[in-house]
Each structure stands twice: as C-alpha cells, then as structure tokens.
Amino acid sequence: LLCWRMASALAKDRKSAAQPPQGNDMTAVTVDALWAWAHHLCAFALIAILFSEWCLTAQEQEHSGICRLARLDMCYGLCAALMLAAGIARLIWGAKGWSFYTGNTLFWAKLGCFALVGLLSVRPSILIFKWRREAGRISAESMRTARIWMTLQLILIPALLLLATLI
C-alpha cells in the first residue's frame, strides 16, 4: 500500500522526482531511500525463501511438504517480481537517475547475474509444479536434481551482492 501511494504521488510529478536532490530537498532523498529499502527487503526475502526451498529439498517429502515447497516457490517468484519492480522504480525515480545506471557496466553485470539466477530457477519451479500434481511420494533423486539447480542459484547470490555493492 505504501509503495502504491508513493508510485501514485511520483507519477504526478515524475520530472521533479527524477532529478537529483537540490539543497534541502528531502522529498527526493526520502523517495530514493524508500525504493532502496523495498528493493533490499525483497532481495533478502528472496534469499531466505530460496534457502528455505533448498533445505526442504534435502530429503524426500510427502505431499504436504511438496505443497509447502510450492507455496514457497510462488513466494519466491512474487518476491523476484517485486524486487525487479522496486529496482525499476529506483532506476526511473531514484536520486542517481536513469543515465547513471544505464551507463554503468557493473549495473548491467548485476542485471545479467539476476537474469541468470532467474533462468536457473525455472527448472526447480517446473519440478515443484510437477510434483504437486503427482500426489505420491517424491524420490530423493528428483529432490537432488531440484536442489542442484537451487545450489547454483545460491552460489551466484554472493556475486550478485558484490555487484550491487560496487554500483
């Protein structure tokens, strides 16, 4: 709700919100800080959810465990979408502005790393969706396959965080 109100207020005065803060103009600084906060909150939630999924795939699961895994996976996708939306909002309305980010090689490397993590998440999501339809017990081998894909995502997270820090 807070983000929706901020986006509505910003849409009315896009031009001034996109400019870097001048003097004591705390509005632009506050808006930038709120978008950064939303972006980081989603990023840390994304990591926590991915780690939870990774832990659940350590052993065979009954149908209830698979349903829990499916809910986590939906939250993971939603969190990724919200993080991307908050990042785009920072890009457009943030204090640094569009040209700072689009001209920055590290930004594009970070975006590429995020896209790679997203691509690596497709296979486990498909497996989880398939498992949920199958009401039986899921084999350890199948769980191991999903866990490997999740491990690859977790391996890329530190690189993503480093790139975010360097921008």
Q: Is 96 helix (H, G, I), strand (E, B) or coil?
A: coil
| Contacts of 54 by beta carbon, 8 Å cutoff, 6+ apart | 147, 150, 151, 154
| Contacts of 151 by beta carbon, 8 Å cutoff, 6+ apart | 54
d(CA 45, CA 26) in angstroms, rounded, equals 28
d(CA 115, CA 133) in angstroms, rounded, equals 28
In the structure, what pLDDT confidence band is assigned to residue 22 with cuts at 50, 70 and 90?
Answer: low
Question: What's the pLDDT at 157?
Answer: 94
Question: What's the pLDDT at 17?
Answer: 45
Backbone angle region of 62, left / alpha / beta, with phi > 0 → left and psi within -120 to 50 → alpha: beta
Q: Calculate mean pLDDT across residues 16-22.
A: 51
Burial per residue of 59-96, b for 16 or more beta-carbon CB atoms within 10 angstroms, e otherwise: eebeeebbeebbebbebbeebbebbbbbbebbbebbbe
Kindly tell me if the per-residue pLDDT of 4 is higher than 60: no
Run of H or E residues at 56: helix 26-56
Tell which residue, 91, 85, 93, has the closest CA to residue 108.
91
In the structure, what pLDDT confidence band is assigned to residue 140 with cuts at 50, 70 and 90?
Answer: confident
pTM of the predicted structure, to 2 decimals: 0.78
pLDDT tens digits, 25-49:
568 788 889 999 999 999 999 999 9
Question: What's the pLDDT at 26?
Answer: 62
Q: How far apart are the first and last CA of the chain?
A: 29
In the structure, what pLDDT confidence band is assigned to residue 152 with cuts at 50, 70 and 90?
Answer: very high
Question: What's the pLDDT at 19?
Answer: 54
pLDDT tens digits, 56-107:
998 888 888 899 999 999 999 999 999 999 999 999 888 888 889 889 999 9
